[in-house]
Amino acid sequence: METATLSKRTFLGFLAAVPVGLAAMKTLGGDIGFVSPAYASAPSDAPTGPFTLPALPYAPGALSKAIDKQTMEIHHGKHHKAYVDNLNKEVGKDAALKDKSIEDIIANISKYPAAVRNNGGGHWNHTFFWSIMTPDKTEMSAELSAAVTEKFGSLDDFKKKFEEAGTKQFGSGWAWLIVNKSGELEITSTPNQDNPLMDDAKVKGAPILGNDVWEHAYYLRYQNKRADYLKAWWNVVNWKKVSDLYAKAKA
């Protein structure tokens, strides 16, 4: 791992919370290599920790089959960075948050004020989002493919239902594929920066796929056409990573 660019609390902690194997960690941290863009640097007045912005595991223009370079640069370097900076400010205000991991904060989010929910959720969700996309062509494992077919009928039917969850989410939010408490695949959506790991989520489970349907994720290229963004997004999903997350969630 390139620990120089990733804080232990943000990235390793994140990988431990979502079920990711050592192989996936090696791929994310070592084999691909992280890009450390200048725009990721913090303003001088922002706390520099305990949470830090993880670098993208690919160049910002690498996902252009679905997401343009400028959107990625702003999304990662400005929006995600703001969630990290604002979360650090909240930690500075509340001693009880000082030594908490992001996973611990998310799992007990109902105990915290809205600013912690919004910025902590924003940090976790975006870290997850970057990790389940890739410019490379990838395929689902046989196990995940079989589970998708069993639950949704076919891959196309699954994609259609997932896209519907994204388009029907009113306002800003996320569409998710989770492994629920019964060990089954389930599609859900959450408003704002909520996610299915939060203790007060209506539908709980381990996310294995998630798409950001905030306008900041797609508006430069797709404007008001969120459905077009959701369709194009399949071109950059890292099915290998999603399959690894599925295997860990089922283990």
Least distance from Fe ion to the Cβ atom of residue 175, Å:
12
CA distance 185 to 179: 5
| Size of interface with Fe ion, in residues (CB under 5 A) | 3
Interhelix angle 114-131/81-93, nearest 10 degrees: 140
Among the listed ranges 47-55, 142-150, 151-159, 207-215, the one in contact with Fe ion (CB under 5 A) is 207-215
CA distance 184 to 29: 29
Nearest residue to 212 (alpha-carbon basis) of 138, 103, 122 = 122
Residue 172 burial (CB < 10 Å; 0-12/13-18/19+)?
middle
Q: Which is nearer to Fe ion, 11 or 130 (CB)?
A: 130
Q: Where does 11-67 have alpha helices with state H?
A: 13-17, 22-26
Token pair recorded at residue 161: 């239902």
Among the listed ranges 15-23, 90-98, 147-155, 216-224, the one in contact with Fe ion (CB under 5 A) is 216-224
Least distance from Fe ion to the Cβ atom of residue 56, Å:
13
Least distance from Fe ion to the Cβ atom of residue 73, Å:
13
Residue 98 burial (CB < 10 Å; 0-12/13-18/19+)?
exposed
Q: Which is nearer to Fe ion, 176 or 214 (CB)?
A: 214
**212, 229, 236, 249: which one contacts Fe ion (CB under 5 A)?**
212
- Residue of minimal Cβ distance to Fe ion: 212
Q: Which is nearer to Fe ion, 73 or 160 (CB)?
A: 73
Q: Which is nearer to Fe ion, 6 or 217 (CB)?
A: 217
Q: Which is nearer to Fe ion, 125 or 238 (CB)?
A: 125
According to the binding rule CB under 5 A, does residue 222 interact with Fe ion?
no
- Residue whose token pair is 């019964």: 182
**14, 130, 214, 222: which one contacts Fe ion (CB under 5 A)?**
214
Phi-psi region of 76 (alpha: psi -120 to 50; beta: other; left: phi over 0): alpha
By the criterion CB under 5 A, which residues form the site for Fe ion?
A: 212, 214, 217
